[in-house]
Amino acid sequence: MNASTEKMTVGFIGLGIMGQSMAGHILAAGHDLCVYNRTRAKADDLVARGAVWKDSPGDVAAACDVVITIVGYPKDVEEVYLAPGGIVERARDGAILIDMTTSSPELAQRIAAAAADRGLAALDAPVSGGDVGARAGTLAIMVGGDAAAFDKAMPLFDAMGGKIVHMGAAGAGQHTKMANQIAIASTMLAVSESLSYAKAAGLDQTAVLDAIGTGAASSFLLNGLGPKMVAGDYAPGFFVHHFVKDMSIALAEAERMQIDLPGLTLARGLYQRLVDGGFGEDGTQALYRVYTQMTGA
């Protein structure tokens, strides 16, 4: 930690595939860290490195200047923040609350309002980059909420991310993440279809990826997940069931705004097939499973 960076007591709630690494970066940056996770064993490594375990989200909030959450679903976000004895009720005066879960823009606005009623600041700050970006500390972080709170939290964002952008008022971070997920959804369709076509044409799929991976079709998903599709490697960097959740939030927002998103609708339906087939814990590249079933490839 450099001399210009203020040491903070930071709470981190949610130590899954991404949260473990994100919390670790904050600890490595020299901040005091309190942690909570529903499965306590996931906190063991961080506790061994100096983090302090707390028995509930409310206990974390009562002990910290900043509280960061990255949990599963909007219902989990609502529970940890707004339930009796939760984060908003028990947070220290002047605390900054940062939800990094991909969640509902409307819920982000409600949390911000509840926090403001207590003299607190709440930011919605979902991330993109998956487990790879979380481990490397290069996540894209899109933030909505109070500008002054954003500035105060910037050293923490810097510890976890590479591209950090304040997008506007409460909910703006979540809306930006929805735009991100919409772009990913249709790109995953395109990569799966490209590889299915290549195989049906009798081409070496790896050679195809090598040939098109530096041209106009190049993308992180083509070059990063395309080889995993070819290899049948569906280990999760981001769970299918979480992606279905994200797409469902985006479609609900699109309906509210009265816009039609046919590509997203198709992608959500195909990913739902994976969940229904028992593959919800696979990574998002498992969409290729659906295409192999449809094409017999």
What's the 3-state SS for 129-173?
CHHHHHHHCCEEEEEEECHHHHHHHHHHHHHHEEEEEEEECCCHH
Q: Is residue 4 part of a domain?
A: no
Same domain, 188 and 74: no
| Res. 119: pLDDT tops 80 | yes
Q: How confident is the model at residue 296 (pLDDT cuts 50, 70, 90)?
A: low
Q: Each residue of 181-232: pLDDT tens digit?
A: 999 999 999 999 999 999 999 999 999 999 999 999 999 999 999 999 999 9
Same domain, 158 and 287: no
Q: How confident is the model at residue 6 (pLDDT cuts 50, 70, 90)?
A: confident
Same domain, 160 and 182: no
pLDDT score, position 152? 97
pLDDT score, position 130? 87
Region 25-31: mean pLDDT is 97
Same domain, 21 and 158: yes
pLDDT score, position 282? 97
Q: Is residue 183 part of a domain?
A: yes
pLDDT score, position 294? 80
Q: Which whole-number Å values give the CA distances from 232 to 27, 210, 282, 283, 285, in the listed order?
A: 36, 17, 11, 11, 9
Q: How many whole angstroms separate alpha carbon 237 and alpha carbon 152?
A: 30
Looking at every residue in the chain, the average pLDDT score rounds to 96
Q: Which helix (H) or strand (E) holds 13?
A: strand 9-13
| CATH code for the domain of 237 | 1.10.1040.10
| Res. 2: pLDDT tops 60 | no
Strand partners, 140: 128, 163
3-state secondary structure of 75: helix
Q: Which amino acid makes up residue 101? A: T
- Residue where one domain finishes, among candidates 169, 192, 219: 169
Q: Is 76 exposed, middle or buried (0-12, 13-18, 19+ CB in 10 A)?
A: middle
| Res. 4: pLDDT tops 60 | no
Region 127-148: mean pLDDT is 95
Structural domains of the chain, count: 2
pLDDT score, position 1? 52
pLDDT score, position 297? 56
| Res. 291: pLDDT tops 80 | yes
Q: Each residue of 240-260: pLDDT tens digit?
A: 999 999 999 999 999 999 999
**Lookup result for tokens 């203020």:** 6
Phi-psi region of 52 (alpha: psi -120 to 50; beta: other; left: phi over 0): beta
Same domain, 33 and 67: yes
Sign of CA dihedral 93, 98, 99, 104: positive
Same domain, 156 and 180: no
pLDDT score, position 35? 98
Same domain, 190 and 143: no
Q: Tell me the two tokens of residue 217.
A: 């079709």
Same domain, 27 and 106: yes
Q: Each residue of 31-81: pLDDT tens digit?
A: 999 999 999 999 999 999 999 999 999 999 999 999 999 999 999 999 999
Same domain, 142 and 161: yes
Q: Each residue of 96-115: pLDDT tens digit?
A: 999 999 999 999 999 999 99
What's the domain range around 64? Answer: 9-169
Q: DSSP code of 6?
A: P
pLDDT score, position 3? 42
Same domain, 191 and 130: no
DSSP string, 218-250: --HHHHHHHHHHHHT----SSBHHHHHHHHHHH
Question: Which residue is catalytic, options 177, 199, 228, 245?
Answer: 177
| CATH code for the domain of 51 | 3.40.50.720
3-state secondary structure of 33: strand
- Cβ atoms within 10 Å, residue 271: 26
- Residue where one domain finishes, among candidates 169, 202, 223: 169
* 177 classed as catalytic: yes
Q: Is residue 2 part of a domain?
A: no
Answer yes or no: are the C-beta atoms of 158 and 164 closer than 8 Å: yes
Q: Is residue 261 part of a domain?
A: yes
